Chains A and B, each alone.
Chain A
Amino acid sequence: MKETEVSIIVNGRRRSARVPPRMTLIDCLRDAFGLCGSHIGCEQGACGACTVLLDGEAVRACLIFAVQVEGQEVTTVEGLAADDGTLSPLQEAFWNHHALQCGYCTSGMLMAATALLAENPRPSEDDIRAAIDGNLCRCTGYQQIVEAIADAAEQAGREGEHV
Chain B
Amino acid sequence: MPLSKLAGKASMSENQAPNYRYVGRRRRTQEDGRFVTGRGRFVQDVQLPAMLHVALVQSPYPRAKLVDIDVEKALTSPGIVAVVTGDELAEHVSPLLQGIDAPGVRSLPLAHGMVRYVGEWVAVVVAESRYRAEDAVELIEVDYEELPAVVDPEMAMAHDAPLVHPTHGSNVFLQKNFSWGPVAEDFAAAPHQLTYRVRWGRSSGVPIETFGVVARWQESQGILDIWASIQMPQYQEQVASALRLPMNAIRIHNDVDVGGSFGTKRGIKQTVMAGYLARKLGSPIRLIEDRLEYMSGGDAHGPDRIFDITLAYDGDGVVSSMKMRALDDLGAYPSRAVQQLGKPMTALCGPYRLGSMAYEAIAVATNKTAQVPVRGFGQAPTNYALENGIDRIARHLDLDRREIRRRNLIRHDEFPWKIPSGSNYDSGDYDAVLEKALDLADWGELMRWQAAQREEGRLVGVGLATCLEPGGGNNIYEHMLNEKIQVTGFLESVLLKVDGQGGVTVAISTHTAGQGHQTLVATIAGEELERDPDSIRVVHSDSLQALPNRGPVASRMAIMAGTATANAAKRLKARMVQIAAHDLGVAVADIEYADGEFSVHHEPSRKLGWNEIAFIAHRQLHRMPPDMEPGLQVLQVESVPGGGKLPDEKGEVQIYPCYSFQAHVSVVEIDRTTGSVRLCDHVVAHDCGTVINPQIVRGMIIGGIGHGVGAALYEKFDYDAEGQLLTGTLFEYNLPSVREMPPVRDIEHCTPSPLTSHGQKGSGEGGYLGAPAAIATAVNDALAPLGISIDELPMRPGAIEAVLHAAKAAT
Given contacts A46-B729, A133-B737, A136-B735, contact A104 B42 (CB under 8 A): yes
Given contacts A101-B514, A132-B738, contact A96 B28 (CB under 8 A): yes
Q: Taking each of B78, B700, B705, B738, which has the highest tally of chain A beta carbons within 10 Å of its own beta carbon?
A: B738
> In the complex, A133 Cα to B703 Cα: how many Å?
16
> In the complex, A47 Cα to B34 Cα: how many Å?
21
Asked whether A59 is an interface residue with its Cβ less than 8 Å from the other chain, the reply is: no
Q: Judging by beta carbons under 8 Å apart, are A138 and B730 in contact? A: no
Q: Judging by beta carbons under 8 Å apart, are B208 and A142 in contact? A: no
> In the complex, A87 Cα to B707 Cα: how many Å?
30
Asked whether A7 is an interface residue with its Cβ less than 8 Å from the other chain, the reply is: no
Some 7 contacts from A to B, beta carbons below 8 A apart, are A1-B78, A36-B45, A41-B730, A102-B258, A104-B259, A135-B738, A143-B743
Q: Which residue of A lies closest to B699 (CB)?
A: A98
Give the Cβ gap from B744 to chain A, nearest Cβ, in Å: 6
Secondary structure call for the B interface: loop
Interface size class of B (residues with CB under 8 A): 35 or more
Secondary structure call for the A interface: loop
Q: Which residue of A lies closest to B261 (CB)?
A: A102
> In the complex, A137 Cα to B705 Cα: how many Å?
13
Asked whether A123 is an interface residue with its Cβ less than 8 Å from the other chain, the reply is: no
Point out the residues of chain A lying under 8 angstroms from B257, CB to CB: 102-103
Quick one: which of A1, A34, A47, A129 contacts B739, CB cutoff 8 A? Answer: A129
Give the Cβ gap from B133 to chain A, nearest Cβ, in Å: 13
Q: Judging by beta carbons under 8 Å apart, are B42 and A39 in contact? A: yes
Asked whether B29 is an interface residue with its Cβ less than 8 Å from the other chain, the reply is: yes
Asked whether B44 is an interface residue with its Cβ less than 8 Å from the other chain, the reply is: yes
Q: Judging by beta carbons under 8 Å apart, are B705 and A47 in contact? A: no
Q: Judging by beta carbons under 8 Å apart, are B706 and A142 in contact? A: yes
Asked whether A140 is an interface residue with its Cβ less than 8 Å from the other chain, the reply is: yes
Q: Judging by beta carbons under 8 Å apart, are B703 and A141 in contact? A: yes
Give the Cβ gap from A63 to chain B, nearest Cβ, in Å: 13
Point out the residues of chain B lying under 8 angstroms from A146, CB to CB: 738
Point out the residues of chain A lying under 8 angstroms from B258, CB to CB: 102
Q: Judging by beta carbons under 8 Å apart, are A39 and B259 in contact? A: yes
Across chains A and B, the number of contacting residue pairs, with CB separation under 8 Å, is 174
0 or 1 for each of A36-56: is its CB under 8 Å from B? (1 = yes): 111111111011010000000
Q: Taking each of A41, A92, A102, which has the highest tally of chain B beta carbons within 10 Å of its own beta carbon?
A: A102
Quick one: which of B291, B515, B738 contacts A44, CB cutoff 8 A? Answer: B291
Q: Judging by beta carbons under 8 Å apart, are A43 and B33 in contact? A: no
Point out the residues of chain A lying under 8 angstroms from B516, CB to CB: 101
Give the Cβ gap from B52 to chain A, nearest Cβ, in Å: 14
Q: Which residue of A lies closest to B212 (CB)?
A: A40
Q: Judging by beta carbons under 8 Å apart, are A23 and B131 in contact? A: yes
Asked whether B211 is an interface residue with its Cβ less than 8 Å from the other chain, the reply is: no
> In the complex, A140 Cα to B262 Cα: how many Å?
12
Point out the residues of chain A lying under 8 angstroms from B767, CB to CB: 141
Q: Taking each of B45, B207, B259, B516, which has the highest tally of chain A beta carbons within 10 Å of its own beta carbon?
A: B259
Quick one: which of B38, B39, B206, B706 contacts A140, CB cutoff 8 A? Answer: B706
Q: Judging by beta carbons under 8 Å apart, are A98 and B29 in contact? A: yes
> In the complex, A20 Cα to B132 Cα: how many Å?
11
Q: Judging by beta carbons under 8 Å apart, are A102 and B209 in contact? A: yes
Q: Judging by beta carbons under 8 Å apart, are B37 and A138 in contact? A: no
> In the complex, A35 Cα to B657 Cα: how many Å?
45
Q: Judging by beta carbons under 8 Å apart, are A141 and B741 in contact? A: yes
Asked whether A118 is an interface residue with its Cβ less than 8 Å from the other chain, the reply is: no
Give the Cβ gap from A145 to chain B, nearest Cβ, in Å: 8
- Which 9 A/B pairs are nearest by Cβ-Cβ distance? A37-B38, A103-B35, A141-B706, A104-B259, A102-B514, A101-B514, A77-B38, A46-B730, A98-B695
Quick one: which of B514, B730, B738 contacts A139, CB cutoff 8 A? Answer: B514
Q: Judging by beta carbons under 8 Å apart, are A100 and B36 in contact? A: yes
List 14 extra interface pairs beyond A141-B706, A141-B767, CB under 8 A.
A20-B131, A77-B38, A95-B36, A98-B698, A101-B514, A101-B700, A102-B257, A102-B514, A104-B40, A104-B260, A135-B737, A138-B206, A139-B703, A142-B738
Q: Judging by beta carbons under 8 Å apart, are B513 and A102 in contact? A: yes
Give the Cβ gap from B184 to chain A, nearest Cβ, in Å: 44
> In the complex, A135 Cα to B730 Cα: how many Å?
12
> In the complex, A145 Cα to B698 Cα: how many Å?
13
> In the complex, A46 Cα to B35 Cα: how many Å?
21
Within 108-161 of A, Cβ neighbours of B (below 8 Å) are at 110, 129, 132-146
Q: Taking each of B78, B260, B695, which has the highest tally of chain A beta carbons within 10 Å of its own beta carbon?
A: B260
Q: Judging by beta carbons under 8 Å apart, are A133 and B36 in contact? A: no
> In the complex, A44 Cα to B295 Cα: how many Å?
13
Q: Which residue of B lies closest to A100 (CB)?
A: B35
> In the complex, A103 Cα to B516 Cα: how many Å?
11
Q: Judging by beta carbons under 8 Å apart, are B36 and A36 in contact? A: no
Give the Cβ gap from A49 to chain B, nearest Cβ, in Å: 5
0 or 1 for each of B237-265: is its CB under 8 Å from A? (1 = yes): 00000000000000000000111111000
Q: Judging by beta carbons under 8 Å apart, are A44 and B731 in contact? A: yes
Asked whether B141 is an interface residue with its Cβ less than 8 Å from the other chain, the reply is: no
Quick one: which of B37, B515, B696, B738 contacts A98, CB cutoff 8 A? Answer: B696
Q: Taking each of B42, B208, B735, which has the highest tally of chain A beta carbons within 10 Å of its own beta carbon?
A: B208
Give the Cβ gap from B267 to chain A, nearest Cβ, in Å: 16
Q: Taking each of A37, A138, A144, which has the highest tally of chain B beta carbons within 10 Å of its own beta carbon?
A: A138
Asked whether B68 is an interface residue with its Cβ less than 8 Å from the other chain, the reply is: no
Asked whether B290 is an interface residue with its Cβ less than 8 Å from the other chain, the reply is: yes
> In the complex, A49 Cα to B207 Cα: how many Å?
11
Give the Cβ gap from B22 to chain A, nearest Cβ, in Å: 16
Q: Judging by beta carbons under 8 Å apart, are B291 and A104 in contact? A: no
Q: Judging by beta carbons under 8 Å apart, are B259 and A102 in contact? A: yes
> In the complex, A135 Cα to B741 Cα: how many Å?
13
Give the Cβ gap from A97 to chain B, nearest Cβ, in Å: 7
Point out the residues of chain A lying under 8 angstroms from B414, CB to CB: none
Asked whether A17 is an interface residue with its Cβ less than 8 Å from the other chain, the reply is: no
Within 696-724 of B, Cβ neighbours of A (below 8 Å) are at 696, 698-700, 702-707, 709
Point out the residues of chain B lying under 8 angstroms from A15, CB to CB: none
Q: Judging by beta carbons under 8 Å apart, are A101 and B131 in contact? A: no
Asked whether B205 is an interface residue with its Cβ less than 8 Å from the other chain, the reply is: yes
Give the Cβ gap from A105 to chain B, nearest Cβ, in Å: 5
Give the Cβ gap from B284 to chain A, nearest Cβ, in Å: 15
Quick one: which of A30, A95, A134 contacts B28, CB cutoff 8 A? Answer: A95
> In the complex, A134 Cα to B737 Cα: how many Å?
7
Give the Cβ gap from A20 to chain B, nearest Cβ, in Å: 7
Point out the residues of chain B lying under 8 angstroms from A30, CB to CB: 44-45
Asked whether A5 is an interface residue with its Cβ less than 8 Å from the other chain, the reply is: no
Q: Judging by beta carbons under 8 Å apart, are B38 and A76 in contact? A: yes
Asked whether B445 is an interface residue with its Cβ less than 8 Å from the other chain, the reply is: no
Q: Taking each of A87, A101, A141, which has the highest tally of chain B beta carbons within 10 Å of its own beta carbon?
A: A141
Asked whether B31 is an interface residue with its Cβ less than 8 Å from the other chain, the reply is: yes
Give the Cβ gap from A113 to chain B, nearest Cβ, in Å: 11
Point out the residues of chain B lying under 8 angstroms from A105, CB to CB: 208
> In the complex, A107 Cα to B257 Cα: how many Å?
14
Given contacts A95-B36, A101-B514, contact A143 B209 (CB under 8 A): no
Q: Judging by beta carbons under 8 Å apart, are A103 and B702 in contact? A: no
Q: Judging by beta carbons under 8 Å apart, are A94 and B36 in contact? A: yes
Asked whether B32 is an interface residue with its Cβ less than 8 Å from the other chain, the reply is: yes
Q: Which residue of A lies closest to B206 (CB)?
A: A138
0 or 1 for each of A54-66: is its CB under 8 Å from B? (1 = yes): 0000000000000
